[in-house]
Structure 1
Amino acid sequence: MFWMICAALAGVVAIAIAAPLLRRQGAGAEPAAAYDLRVYRDQLREVGRDLERGVIDQADAERLRIEIGRKVLAADRALERAGGACRAPGGWAALVVLALLLAGAFLLYQRVGQPERPDAPIARRIAESQALYEDRPSQAEAEAKAPKPQRPAPDADYVALIERLREAVAKNPDDPRGLELLAEHEEKLGNVVAAKEAQRRLVALKGDTAGAEDLARLAGLTIEAAGGLITSEAEQAVAGALQRDPHNPQARFMAGLLHLQNGRPDRAFPIWAGLLAEGPESAPWIAPIRAAIPDLAWFAGRPDYTPPEPASAAPALPGPDADAMAAAGDMTPEQRQQMIEGMVKGLETRLAAQGGTPEEWARLISSLVVIGQKDHAADILDEARQRFSADPTARAAIEAAAQKAGLE
């Protein structure tokens, strides 16, 4: 049906454009020279009437007749040259251009369109989305298929400490602090499935006292272990987090992502649009939402949606002011090193207490390597990876800084 409608519309437009270009002027269309002849003959008759009324004298009348007669002869010769039948100039060339445009439009649709996809009413699309939702793989199936990214070999001493932590948790499985530490450090080692399992045991141990943050963290680890897919197990953790705190932004982001993965942009859009409006701009979920929201709004039936403007640019990363720069010129190398270390320490303290953007964490990692604290930079890198584990864009900035600093 779609192709039939398109072909009919294209045919109507092509005929409407080609008809006047190909119409023969002698068949139904009067040549311009014939119209000119009628006008000139009317002018000759008008000269005679003016002469009879005395409006002009005989000399003026003769002069006008001679001038109009020349125009009559010129128009008559033009009519003979036309031969009574001619086509509009450039008609065939315009028709060729029209054919090329139609063929180009067809080939372009074949390349970027979906000609094999049948039209589907809303009810069928919703049914397909529901089927997709119900046929999701289980958590175990998703974990088996999830890619296993390669990570650099961890420090042997660190691995030994984690092994002792595992033994301690195995001996005392009801220790919430031990489970919390185990989940954190298993994730740092890249053992996401083990980290998810430790967090699941921690949530089960806490029971009704488990907070929204605990469940949101469990959901994030479950999704990461499944390669980014939100399985029913992860969905339950998201639902639990929202039940405890309906305004938890991380859980709301994952709820919107769930609808998006299952073909329901109409449900994902209001969730993500609300998060984008609330901000703050430095939140790890804002960047992926801002990148996707224009297309998401269109698919959700909101083509008129305009994303809110980003908040005022984040303040510049802390650094020495003009006075400090001037004073640095008079410092010894040791004093300048102490000043730089102090600024790096101030940045680290602020990020630990208040948090910050991925760019600030990346700068801290790079700065620690520059001042010779590479081991400490590796620890900060692990912490940054944990903080931004649910944000691929932020993780990319962190990993780029780590690679540039030689930590990979």
Structure 2
Amino acid sequence: MLFWIVLTIMLGSAIFLAILPLLRSARNDSATAETFDNDIAVFKDQLAEIERDLKRGVLNERDAESARSEISRRLIEANAKAENTSETAASGQKATLFRKFSAAFAFVVVPVIAALMYVTLGSPELNDQPLQARVQNQQQNSDQSQILGLVERVETHLAANPDDDQGWEVVAPVYQRMGRYDDAVRAFENIIRLRGDTEPRLSDLGEAIVLSQEGVVTQRAEKLFQRGIALDATAIRPRFFLAMGLTQESKFQQAAQAWEALLEEATPQSAWAPGALDQLNMARSQLGLPPAEPSNSAASIMSLSQQEQQEMISTMVAGLAAKLEEEPGNLADWLRLIRSYVVLERPDDAVEALRKAETQFASDQRAMTELNDMAGSLGLTAQN
């Protein structure tokens, strides 16, 4: 309510200041006409007084004639002004009518139009955005503009150099984050064309295809995930999407088994675990079964407090590291260990594990490629 009161006062003040010259102009015209009439009456009285003074002998004929000439001159000027005023009376009336109409328009029509436009187009109930939020929005817009500029430069480069695998690797995840899924599909296809098949690359392409189809696991995506599992049977992502595909095909028995198998390998830092548990319970519901009990390791861990989860995770990671000291030939375990260190915010340990893994698999080109791909995605660099 206070907003509308303040708005009304401001609008009224603005309108009054706008029409004030019109009101002054009308008063000036009226005052000018009245002054001309008074001057003419005074001059006529002066002429009559000269005639009386001449008869009484106060003035001689010469002085009287001189006075008559001066007054007559002034009377002629006054009459001329009066005639001009008379001639412009009609136009003055029109001007007065226009001023009245303008004043009425300003006082009535303008506020009504302004109020209607504000109610229709404005947002009177919208809260003010704090300065910090506006600054953050401006910063985000600036960052977005910079990203778009970089993407355009990379696209220009790739148009002239379509076989630059590094360029495609740079732009592919950016396309996906921007929601340009068809472009992401094309970029991941080029990466596989230039660098060959690995489970992460096949899963990247399959995921981009699923996103481009609004979450539907298509036959093409399914084949890509199956090829990924053939390269790494322990990989989570292709198994997750294949289980999702089974749910979409209403193969709930197979889907439930796939989700249960995945959840047995989940840890609290597995971002996919809650979604997998929901999918499992949905499949069980379709089969007429009750929700899954927290009997598997992932569900048990998720039921713990945050501190207990962290302690259990640290114990599990330490056990995995000890296992790799004795049996260093399992690439999947090395990848899992490196990723766990990153999640636990232990970057030095992650880099050290990456260095050991690269030493172990120095002669295995496929393994080195997977290590390099994961190191790049996690922002790690081994110091050999």
* Superposed pair shares fold, TM > 0.5: no
TM range (shorter): 0.3 to 0.5
TM-score, normalization by structure 2: 0.41
Larger Rg: 2
When normalised by structure 1's length, the TM-score is 0.39
